Homo-oligomer: A and B are copies of this chain.
Amino acid sequence: MAKPARPPPRRRPPRKRSGAGAARGATLTRRRIAEAALALIDGAGLEQLSMRRLGARLGVEAMAIYHHFRNKAELLDGVLELLLEELEPPTGARGTPLERLRRTFEATRAVAIRHPHAFLLLPTRRFNTDRALEYYERLLALFREAGFDAKLSARFFRLLAGYVTGAGLAEIGSRAQQRDATPSRLERFSDPKRFPLVTSVAPELRVANLDAIFQFGLDVIFAAMADEAGRRP
Protein backbone atom coordinates (compact mmCIF):
# COMPACT_ATOMS: atom_id res chain seq x y z
CA MET A 1 0.00 0.00 0.00
CA ALA A 2 3.05 2.22 0.20
CA LYS A 3 2.76 3.96 -3.16
CA PRO A 4 6.02 2.70 -4.72
CA ALA A 5 7.04 6.02 -6.14
CA ARG A 6 6.49 5.34 -9.84
CA PRO A 7 9.86 5.13 -11.63
CA PRO A 8 10.46 8.72 -12.67
CA PRO A 9 9.48 8.95 -16.37
CA ARG A 10 12.94 9.57 -17.70
CA ARG A 11 12.91 12.72 -19.75
CA ARG A 12 13.09 12.25 -23.47
CA PRO A 13 13.15 14.89 -26.13
CA PRO A 14 9.60 15.61 -27.20
CA ARG A 15 8.16 13.39 -29.83
CA LYS A 16 6.57 14.36 -33.08
CA ARG A 17 2.83 14.02 -32.81
CA SER A 18 1.43 12.15 -35.77
CA GLY A 19 -2.34 12.66 -35.43
CA ALA A 20 -3.97 15.18 -37.70
CA GLY A 21 -4.96 18.22 -35.69
CA ALA A 22 -3.87 16.75 -32.43
CA ALA A 23 -0.74 18.74 -31.78
CA ARG A 24 -2.45 20.53 -28.93
CA GLY A 25 0.76 21.13 -26.99
CA ALA A 26 4.07 19.68 -25.90
CA THR A 27 4.59 16.18 -24.59
CA LEU A 28 2.57 14.95 -21.67
CA THR A 29 4.04 15.27 -18.22
CA ARG A 30 2.56 14.63 -14.80
CA ARG A 31 2.57 18.33 -14.21
CA ARG A 32 0.90 19.28 -17.45
CA ILE A 33 -1.78 16.65 -16.95
CA ALA A 34 -2.49 17.69 -13.37
CA GLU A 35 -2.71 21.33 -14.40
CA ALA A 36 -5.16 20.51 -17.16
CA ALA A 37 -7.19 18.46 -14.69
CA LEU A 38 -7.30 21.34 -12.24
CA ALA A 39 -8.33 23.72 -15.01
CA LEU A 40 -11.08 21.34 -16.01
CA ILE A 41 -12.28 21.02 -12.42
CA ASP A 42 -12.19 24.78 -11.95
CA GLY A 43 -14.20 25.27 -15.08
CA ALA A 44 -16.75 22.50 -14.88
CA GLY A 45 -16.73 20.92 -11.44
CA LEU A 46 -15.14 17.90 -9.84
CA GLU A 47 -17.59 15.38 -11.19
CA GLN A 48 -17.00 16.58 -14.73
CA LEU A 49 -13.40 15.42 -14.61
CA SER A 50 -13.14 12.21 -16.59
CA MET A 51 -10.14 10.61 -18.17
CA ARG A 52 -11.64 10.89 -21.62
CA ARG A 53 -12.54 14.53 -21.25
CA LEU A 54 -9.14 15.31 -19.83
CA GLY A 55 -7.47 13.41 -22.66
CA ALA A 56 -9.47 15.34 -25.21
CA ARG A 57 -8.42 18.58 -23.60
CA LEU A 58 -4.79 17.51 -23.89
CA GLY A 59 -5.18 16.36 -27.48
CA VAL A 60 -4.60 12.77 -26.52
CA GLU A 61 -6.48 9.54 -25.92
CA ALA A 62 -7.67 8.90 -22.39
CA MET A 63 -5.40 5.91 -21.93
CA ALA A 64 -2.31 8.00 -22.55
CA ILE A 65 -2.80 9.48 -19.11
CA TYR A 66 -2.27 6.06 -17.57
CA HIS A 67 1.39 6.22 -18.55
CA HIS A 68 1.81 9.05 -16.09
CA PHE A 69 -0.72 8.21 -13.39
CA ARG A 70 -1.63 4.76 -12.27
CA ASN A 71 -5.32 5.58 -11.95
CA LYS A 72 -7.72 8.40 -11.38
CA ALA A 73 -7.07 8.49 -7.64
CA GLU A 74 -3.40 9.14 -8.23
CA LEU A 75 -4.33 11.86 -10.69
CA LEU A 76 -6.47 13.52 -8.04
CA ASP A 77 -3.53 13.37 -5.68
CA GLY A 78 -1.56 15.16 -8.38
CA VAL A 79 -4.19 17.89 -8.48
CA LEU A 80 -4.03 18.07 -4.72
CA GLU A 81 -0.31 18.70 -4.85
CA LEU A 82 -0.97 21.70 -7.06
CA LEU A 83 -3.35 23.06 -4.44
CA LEU A 84 -0.76 22.44 -1.79
CA GLU A 85 1.61 24.81 -3.56
CA GLU A 86 -0.92 27.58 -3.13
CA LEU A 87 -1.50 26.85 0.51
CA GLU A 88 1.29 29.03 1.79
CA PRO A 89 1.53 32.79 1.42
CA PRO A 90 4.34 34.00 -0.85
CA THR A 91 5.51 36.64 1.60
CA GLY A 92 7.37 34.27 3.79
CA ALA A 93 9.11 35.16 6.95
CA ARG A 94 7.95 38.56 8.03
CA GLY A 95 6.09 39.20 11.23
CA THR A 96 5.68 37.28 14.44
CA PRO A 97 5.03 33.55 14.31
CA LEU A 98 1.38 34.09 15.09
CA GLU A 99 1.08 36.66 12.31
CA ARG A 100 2.67 34.26 9.89
CA LEU A 101 0.39 31.45 11.04
CA ARG A 102 -2.58 33.67 10.45
CA ARG A 103 -1.44 34.57 6.96
CA THR A 104 -0.99 30.90 6.20
CA PHE A 105 -4.56 30.04 7.12
CA GLU A 106 -5.81 33.06 5.24
CA ALA A 107 -4.03 31.63 2.23
CA THR A 108 -5.95 28.38 2.72
CA ARG A 109 -9.20 30.26 2.52
CA ALA A 110 -7.97 32.03 -0.59
CA VAL A 111 -7.52 28.61 -2.19
CA ALA A 112 -11.10 27.74 -1.32
CA ILE A 113 -12.27 30.85 -3.12
CA ARG A 114 -9.93 30.44 -6.07
CA HIS A 115 -10.65 26.73 -6.58
CA PRO A 116 -14.12 26.16 -5.18
CA HIS A 117 -14.66 22.88 -6.96
CA ALA A 118 -11.26 21.41 -6.20
CA PHE A 119 -11.08 22.54 -2.58
CA LEU A 120 -13.03 19.50 -1.48
CA LEU A 121 -10.02 17.35 -2.29
CA LEU A 122 -8.17 18.93 0.58
CA PRO A 123 -10.19 17.66 3.55
CA THR A 124 -11.24 14.57 1.69
CA ARG A 125 -8.14 12.77 0.49
CA ARG A 126 -5.43 11.26 2.63
CA PHE A 127 -2.36 13.23 1.95
CA ASN A 128 1.02 11.97 2.99
CA THR A 129 3.30 12.79 0.12
CA ASP A 130 6.69 14.28 0.80
CA ARG A 131 5.52 17.68 -0.25
CA ALA A 132 2.61 17.54 2.17
CA LEU A 133 4.86 16.53 5.03
CA GLU A 134 7.17 19.42 4.25
CA TYR A 135 4.18 21.74 4.40
CA TYR A 136 3.11 20.35 7.76
CA GLU A 137 6.65 20.59 9.05
CA ARG A 138 6.86 24.29 8.19
CA LEU A 139 3.45 24.87 9.73
CA LEU A 140 4.39 23.14 12.95
CA ALA A 141 7.61 25.12 13.06
CA LEU A 142 5.48 28.24 13.33
CA PHE A 143 3.53 26.74 16.22
CA ARG A 144 6.78 25.90 17.94
CA GLU A 145 8.21 29.34 17.32
CA ALA A 146 5.08 30.74 18.88
CA GLY A 147 5.90 28.76 21.99
CA PHE A 148 3.56 25.78 21.78
CA ASP A 149 4.60 22.27 22.71
CA ALA A 150 3.48 19.21 20.78
CA LYS A 151 0.20 18.88 22.63
CA LEU A 152 -0.92 22.47 22.25
CA SER A 153 0.30 22.53 18.68
CA ALA A 154 -1.88 19.53 17.91
CA ARG A 155 -4.89 21.14 19.56
CA PHE A 156 -4.64 24.55 17.99
CA PHE A 157 -3.73 22.98 14.68
CA ARG A 158 -6.91 20.97 14.59
CA LEU A 159 -8.95 23.96 15.72
CA LEU A 160 -7.51 26.22 13.06
CA ALA A 161 -7.40 23.73 10.23
CA GLY A 162 -10.86 22.46 11.07
CA TYR A 163 -12.32 25.94 11.13
CA VAL A 164 -10.65 27.01 7.92
CA THR A 165 -11.65 23.96 5.90
CA GLY A 166 -15.17 23.83 7.30
CA ALA A 167 -15.77 27.53 6.85
CA GLY A 168 -14.17 27.26 3.42
CA LEU A 169 -16.67 24.64 2.35
CA ALA A 170 -19.52 26.71 3.74
CA GLU A 171 -18.30 29.79 1.93
CA ILE A 172 -18.05 27.90 -1.32
CA GLY A 173 -21.68 26.97 -0.92
CA SER A 174 -22.58 30.56 -0.16
CA ARG A 175 -20.74 31.98 -3.12
CA ALA A 176 -22.04 29.39 -5.52
CA GLN A 177 -25.53 30.85 -5.36
CA GLN A 178 -25.40 34.37 -6.55
CA ARG A 179 -22.61 36.75 -7.16
CA ASP A 180 -23.52 39.39 -4.65
CA ALA A 181 -26.76 38.26 -3.20
CA THR A 182 -27.81 36.09 -0.32
CA PRO A 183 -25.83 32.99 0.40
CA SER A 184 -28.52 30.48 -0.39
CA ARG A 185 -32.07 30.21 -1.47
CA LEU A 186 -33.07 30.69 2.13
CA GLU A 187 -34.12 34.23 1.60
CA ARG A 188 -36.03 33.57 -1.57
CA PHE A 189 -37.92 30.54 -0.41
CA SER A 190 -38.23 30.59 3.32
CA ASP A 191 -41.34 31.86 4.97
CA PRO A 192 -40.53 34.74 7.33
CA LYS A 193 -43.49 33.72 9.42
CA ARG A 194 -42.29 30.18 9.92
CA PHE A 195 -38.56 30.94 10.07
CA PRO A 196 -38.17 34.43 11.51
CA LEU A 197 -34.67 33.90 12.85
CA VAL A 198 -33.39 32.29 9.68
CA THR A 199 -34.87 35.20 7.78
CA SER A 200 -33.15 37.74 10.01
CA VAL A 201 -29.75 36.06 10.02
CA ALA A 202 -29.54 35.10 6.34
CA PRO A 203 -28.78 38.65 5.12
CA GLU A 204 -25.82 38.75 7.46
CA LEU A 205 -24.25 35.99 5.38
CA ARG A 206 -24.20 37.97 2.18
CA VAL A 207 -21.06 37.53 0.14
CA ALA A 208 -20.01 41.08 0.96
CA ASN A 209 -19.83 40.13 4.64
CA LEU A 210 -17.95 36.86 4.28
CA ASP A 211 -14.51 38.40 4.65
CA ALA A 212 -15.39 39.98 7.96
CA ILE A 213 -17.10 36.84 9.19
CA PHE A 214 -14.08 34.72 8.39
CA GLN A 215 -11.72 37.17 10.08
CA PHE A 216 -13.94 37.21 13.13
CA GLY A 217 -13.39 33.48 13.54
CA LEU A 218 -9.65 33.89 13.21
CA ASP A 219 -9.79 36.73 15.74
CA VAL A 220 -11.38 34.44 18.31
CA ILE A 221 -8.91 31.62 17.75
CA PHE A 222 -5.78 33.76 17.59
CA ALA A 223 -6.81 35.69 20.68
CA ALA A 224 -6.87 32.39 22.54
CA MET A 225 -3.51 31.45 21.05
CA ALA A 226 -1.92 34.74 22.04
CA ASP A 227 -3.35 34.31 25.49
CA GLU A 228 -1.94 30.82 25.82
CA ALA A 229 1.41 31.81 24.35
CA GLY A 230 1.70 34.75 26.74
CA ARG A 231 1.05 32.47 29.65
CA ARG A 232 4.34 30.63 29.07
CA PRO A 233 7.01 33.13 28.02
A residues near B (Cβ < 8 Å) are 2, 120, 123-124, 126, 128, 133-134, 136-137, 140-141, 144, 150-151, 153-155, 157-159, 161-170, 173, 176, 184-186, 189-190, 194-198, 200-201, 203-205, 209, 213-214, 216-217, 220-221, 223-224
Q: Which residue of B lies closest to A120 (CB)?
A: B124
Assess whether B161 is in contact with A162, with CB atoms less than 8 Å apart: no
Q: Which residues of B are found within 8 Å of A186, using beta-carbon distances?
A: 128, 133
Q: Are B220 and A136 in contact (CB under 8 A)?
A: no
Q: Which residue of B lies closest to A219 (CB)?
A: B224
Interface of A is mostly: helix
Q: Which residues of B contact A201 (CB under 8 A)?
A: 140, 150, 153-154, 157
Q: Can you offer 12 A-B residue contacts whose CB atoms are under 8 A?
A: A126-B173, A128-B190, A150-B204, A151-B204, A155-B204, A159-B163, A159-B216, A162-B165, A162-B167, A165-B169, A220-B220, A224-B224
Least CB distance from A228 to B in Å reads: 9
Q: A173 CA to B132 CA in the complex, in Å? A: 15
New A-B pairs, 11, CB < 8 Å, besides A150-B203, A154-B213: A120-B124, A126-B173, A126-B184, A133-B194, A154-B205, A158-B205, A158-B213, A163-B166, A163-B167, A165-B169, A166-B168
Which residues on the B side are within 8 Å of A185 (C-beta)?
Answer: 126, 128
Contacts of A159 in B (CB 8 A): 163, 167, 216-217, 220
Name the B residues within 8 Å of A157 (CB-CB): 201
By Cβ-Cβ distance, the 9 closest A-B pairs, closest first, are: A166-B166, A162-B167, A162-B166, A154-B204, A140-B197, A165-B166, A159-B217, A123-B169, A163-B163
